[in-house]
Chains A and B, each alone.
Chain A
Amino acid sequence: MYTLTKNIKILSSLMMVSGFIALAYGFYSAPHSVEEAKEMVSSQAHDNYGSDDEKDYYDKSTLNENKNKSDHGEGHQMSHDEHVYHQLSNRPWSALYVSALFFFLISLGTLAFYAIQRASQAGWSPILFRVMEGITGYLLPGSIIVFVILILCTMHLNHVFVWMDPDVVAHDKIIQAKSGYLDSKFFLARAIFYILGWNLYRFFSRKFSIAQDKSDGISNHIKNFKLSAGFLAFFIVTESMMSWDWIMSIDPHWFSTLFGWYVFASMFVSGITTIALVTIYLKSQGYLKKVNDNHMHDLAKFMFGVSVFWAYLWFSQFMLIWYANIPEEVVYFVARIQDYSLPFWGMLVTNLIFPFLVLMNSDYKRVNWLIVMTGIVILFGHYLDFYNMIMPGTVGDQWYIGIPEIGGILFFGGLFIYVVFNTLTEASLEPSGDPLFKESEKFVY
Chain B
Amino acid sequence: MAEKILHAVYDDDDKLLAAVKKIKEADIDIEEVYTPFPVHGLDKVMGLKETRLAITAFMYGCIGFCFAIWMMNYIMILDWPQNIGGKPSFSFIENMPSFVPIMFELTVFFAAHLMVITFYLRSKLWPFKEAENPMPSTTDDKFLIEIKFDGSEKQIKKLINETDVLEIKLHSKKNDNDK
Chain A residues in the interface with B (C-beta under 8 A): 315, 318-319, 322-325, 360-362, 444
Contact = CB atoms under 8 A, between A and B. Distances in A.
A444 B85 CA distance: 50
Nearest to A360: B58
B87 A319 contact: no
Nearest to A444: B41
A362 B41 contact: no
A325 B85 contact: yes
22 contacts: A315-B97, A315-B100, A318-B97, A319-B97, A319-B98, A319-B100, A319-B101, A322-B85, A322-B97, A323-B84, A323-B85, A323-B97, A323-B98, A324-B85, A325-B85, A325-B86, A325-B87, A360-B58, A361-B54, A362-B54, A444-B40, A444-B41
A279 to B, nearest CB: 24
Contacts of B58: 360
A294 to B, nearest CB: 12
B37 to A, nearest CB: 17
Interface string B89-124: 000000001101100000000000000000000000
A324 B84 CA distance: 10
A334 to B, nearest CB: 13
Q: Give the dominant DSSP class at A's interface.
A: helix
A324 B97 CA distance: 12
Contacts, number: 22
Interface string B63-105: 0000000000000000000001111000000000110110000
Nearest to A320: B97
Closest 6 CB pairs of A and B: A323-B85, A319-B97, A322-B97, A325-B86, A325-B85, A323-B98
Contacts of B84: 323
Indicate the member of B84, B86, B97, B98 with the most A CB atoms within 10 Å. Answer: B97
A319 B96 CA distance: 10
Contacts of B97: 315, 318-319, 322-323
A274 B51 CA distance: 32
A319 B98 CA distance: 7
Nearest to A315: B100
Nearest to A363: B50
Nearest to A318: B97
A324 B100 CA distance: 16
A53 B98 CA distance: 29
Contacts of B100: 315, 319
Nearest to B44: A444
A293 B2 CA distance: 46
Contacts of B98: 319, 323
Interface string B3-14: 000000000000
B60 to A, nearest CB: 14
A56 B143 CA distance: 75
B102 to A, nearest CB: 12
A319 B97 CA distance: 6
A199 to B, nearest CB: 40
Given A318-B97, A319-B98, 12 more contacts: A315-B97, A315-B100, A322-B85, A322-B97, A323-B84, A323-B85, A323-B97, A325-B85, A325-B86, A360-B58, A361-B54, A362-B54
B35 to A, nearest CB: 18
Nearest to B55: A361
A444 B98 CA distance: 42
Contacts of A444: 40-41
A318 B85 CA distance: 13
A400 to B, nearest CB: 28
Contacts of B86: 325
A323 B98 CA distance: 7
A268 to B, nearest CB: 21
Contacts of B41: 444
Contacts of A362: 54
Contacts of A360: 58
Nearest to B87: A325
A319 B58 CA distance: 26
Nearest to A324: B85
Interface string B26-62: 0000000000000011000000000000100010000
A318 B98 CA distance: 10
Contacts of A361: 54
A444 B14 CA distance: 14
A138 to B, nearest CB: 36
Contacts of A325: 85-87
A325 B58 CA distance: 35
Contacts of B40: 444
A323 B85 CA distance: 5
A362 B87 CA distance: 42
A361 B97 CA distance: 27
A215 B86 CA distance: 66
A339 to B, nearest CB: 19
Contacts of B85: 322-325
Nearest to A361: B54
A149 to B, nearest CB: 35
Contacts of A318: 97
Nearest to A445: B40
A311 to B, nearest CB: 10
A32 B140 CA distance: 80
Contacts of B101: 319
B31 to A, nearest CB: 26
